[in-house]
A and B are shown apart, each in its own frame.
Chain A
Amino acid sequence: MPEEKQHRTVIAVTDGASIPSRKDAGLFTAWRVSFVGSVALLIYLSVFHSDPYFRILKFLPDGIFITFQVTVEAILLALIIGLFTGLGRISKNKVINGIASVYVEVIRGIPLLVQLFYIYFALGRFINVPAMASAVIAMAVCYGAYMGEIYRAGIESIPKGQMEAARSLGMSHSQAMLHVILPQAFKTILPPIGNEFVALLKDSSLVSILAVSDLLRRGREFASETFTYFETYTMVALVYLIITLFLSKLISRMEERLGVNQ
């Protein structure tokens, strides 16, 4: 009997941290070794070599906070931009479709760092936007394009019959999208969006160039005052690693939970 196909396509558009597969079981998974190892190293350095490591660690939390702030704000904005981009990309209206497609092409063709500079200085020519805000906007504009592709793939993974059934009941296109297609696509797009979140968190280190005091920038400030470059960047790298490993795990758990839900 033909079942409605269960689509579990994982869409990897940008390079997030690799999401651990459910199949790697056992005690010594790559994830466990990396996570436990990096936490252990962080604790070891802070306790047994507290000067300068513990001093560095105490200096970083403000930066971690800013990194999270940039990441969360940018991802929320990117989710909205992405939704409209994705809908634009599947739109039959040639103008809307064209605009969305050009946006995706252009953004994907320009390195994020260049986009950051561009938006920061371009915006700065006309209006005085705080560094933090232009950093968030730049990240969101960039990730919105990738997010759009995720939405598009998610929506396209839903069998055509679902839209037809909804429309045949008299629902408008937007009602059908909102109540029938998007809720189903959500399951497919959540894992890649989680992946984007991790990727964005890592890429957010680029905003340190725009005088935003994120994790990397705090590290650089500390290092240049104390000349402990090696020690500081070791700690910065460890903190990034622990955060991204933790988040990747969280996301794969969430994915599993959704997978078994129904």
Chain B
Amino acid sequence: MSTNDRRVMVHIRNVDKYFGHLRALTDVSLDIYDGEKVVVIGPSGSGKSTLLRSINQLETIDAGTIIVDGFNLTDPATDINKVREEIGMVFQLFNVFPHKTVLENINLAQMLVRKRSREEATAISMELLNKVGIAEKIHQYPTKLSGGQQQRVAIARALAMKPKLMLFDEPTSALDPEMIGEVLDVMKTLAREGMTMIVVTHEMGFAREVADRVIFMDYGAIVEEGTPEHFFTNPTQERTQTFLKQIL
């Protein structure tokens, strides 16, 4: 597949990130194209979350450049809130707002950030809640919902901003096994619709089915990248082989 003719959505060059003395990202460079689905895998502590969180500046990097949709994050003049409007993020622990109903969860940022009226926001929220399959729960508080439902609310909340890029940080690792499928289904639909997605996950079935590219990280660095076929049939790096053996 040729990616030369496609626009770069996320441009990452020579990025380092330290937590004290710990080097969480080591000279990471990566381009992610418009509409591409990238799955990031790697052992615990390898820097997957840090990489994802650097893309919407929940972590600030110590060296290198990240450009998202033309916004240079390392430029102090960049309004980070403007960039974040274009990047949806879904967390392992959902982080739904427990003091707001499902509908209010999804309306809140639309009204505050996108400056939509309540009616406009609600119309968009309803459409998304239908899409993620929880339209009947709109007036419930999220604490009354199952984990899978909460995560779908979180996805709808991010989508309501009409982002150009979606980041998923282990969206199903905190879920009971029977709920993983419902969340992955929503993500697969999103992928089919052409959303640009970066997904950290241990769900290899999802990676095989959805990913255009798989990236393996270890010790804060990208060790190997390639198509799912490449990864699951003949990975070249020894560390990749060891890792895949452990989880498959």
Contact = CB atoms under 8 A, between A and B. Distances in A.
8 contacts: A1-B147, A1-B175, A168-B87, A168-B158, A175-B112, A175-B113, A262-B98, A262-B141
State the main secondary structure of chain A at its contact with B.
helix
Contact of A168 (B84, B108, B147): B84
Interface in B154-169: 154, 157-158, 161
A170 B93 contact: no
A162 interface: yes
User: Which 7 A-B residue pairings sit nearest by Cβ, starting from the closest?
Assistant: A165-B95, A169-B109, A170-B85, A161-B95, A168-B89, A170-B113, A170-B84
Contacts of A159: 93, 95
Interface stretch (A130-138, A178-186, A199-207, A247-255): A178-186
Contact of B95 (A164, A171, A262): A164
Nearest to A173: B81
Contacts of A164: 58, 91, 95
Contact of B112 (A1, A2, A165, A179): A179
B99 interface: yes
Contacts of B206: none
B167 to A, nearest CB: 8
Contacts of B147: 1
Contact of B97 (A3, A175, A180): A180
Interface in B82-130: 82, 84-85, 87-89, 91, 93-99, 108-109, 112-114
Given A162-B97, A172-B81, 20 more contacts: A1-B175, A2-B93, A4-B93, A161-B93, A164-B58, A167-B58, A168-B84, A168-B88, A168-B89, A169-B84, A170-B84, A170-B85, A170-B109, A170-B114, A170-B161, A175-B112, A180-B97, A262-B98, A262-B141, A262-B143
Nearest to B142: A4
Contacts of B112: 171, 175, 179
Contacts of B161: 169-170
Contact of B113 (A2, A161, A169): A169
A35 B39 CA distance: 65
A133 B58 CA distance: 46
B50 interface: no
A63 to B, nearest CB: 41
Contacts of A165: 89, 91, 95-97, 154
A166 interface: yes
B63 to A, nearest CB: 21
Given A4-B143, A162-B95, A168 B58 contact: yes
A1 B176 contact: yes
A160 to B, nearest CB: 9
B210 to A, nearest CB: 22
Nearest to A178: B112
Nearest to A186: B99
A1 B145 CA distance: 12
Contacts of A3: 143
Given A1-B174, A1-B176, A2-B174, A169 B95 contact: no
A259 to B, nearest CB: 13
Contacts of A262: 98, 141, 143
B56 interface: yes
Nearest to A182: B99
A167 B84 contact: yes
Given A1-B176, A179-B112, A184-B98, A169 B143 contact: no
Interface in A99-118: none
Contacts of A1: 147, 174-176
Interface in B34-71: 56, 58
A108 B82 CA distance: 42
B91 A161 contact: yes
A77 B141 CA distance: 33
A183 B81 contact: no
B198 to A, nearest CB: 13
Given A1-B174, A1-B175, A4-B98, A170 B91 contact: no
A170 B68 CA distance: 14
A262 B98 CA distance: 9
A165 B105 CA distance: 11
A137 to B, nearest CB: 34
Contacts of B94: 4
A172 B79 CA distance: 10
